[in-house]
Structure 1
Amino acid sequence: MPLIRIKSLPFEGDVDISLVVCNLSQAVADATGIESHHIMVSWEYLLKGHYSHAGKVAEVQGINTHPLLVDLIAPNFNTEQQIMAMLELIANTISEHVPVAKKNIFINYTPAYSDGVYDEGHIVEWDM
């Protein structure tokens, strides 16, 4: 783990989302030393007109409007510095691969707790 879930409006032009999620997964693995089979990244498109920001809806993802919505779920044993580094890495990597300004990315971190994660067929425990 970590799990990174991204939501956005559809892009106006062609964006290879499969390439973006693979690049993001590899960037996290390289930066953290976490084996890639423990990293999960998903990207979902919101329906056109189903996302309001600043009281306005949009049909397509804007570069500077309607922030990308990103959830990072990672174990609570990560330090504050490690979490901040992951947040920056995610924002930098996404903004390098899609037509969205880095300042137009919203990321929320949620800690995952020992005994609070089911993965690979069992409840996961870690020592801190």
Structure 2
Amino acid sequence: MNFLAAAILVALLLLAVFTLVNWSVLSAPATLSFIAFSVEGPLGVILLGAMLFLVVLFVVYALTLRTQMLVESRRHNQELQAQPSTPRPTSATSTASRSPSCAPGRIRRATGWRRCPMPATRPGRT
């Protein structure tokens, strides 16, 4: 279990203990005023229920995002597997292209592009 999950679990446990200790205050009836009408009911229990509803919505949202990410990752993986494999350059050609000397093709310098002379033979061949 990672640190964030442990911290969330501890916070929910503390909230549950706080709710149990103060249940008489939370369940005490109060007059709840909605703009058009008033209702007598336990304000604490209503607020606790609203908070739990928002927690459930957050969990559903997080699970939806995680599922979408996994589906997208799987789709990308399938696309990569479906592509034909292309041969990778040999180490001789890739080393030649990284060398500070003039490699075959174009080299980007601070002054701009310049054309390098092509070698008489290809690297790695005799």
Confirm or deny a common fold (TM above 0.5): no
Query: Higher strand proportion, which one?
Result: 1
Could you tell me the TM-score, scaled by structure 1's length?
A: 0.20
Query: Higher helix proportion, which one?
Result: 2
Structure with greater contact order relative to length (CA < 8 Å, sep ≥ 6): 1
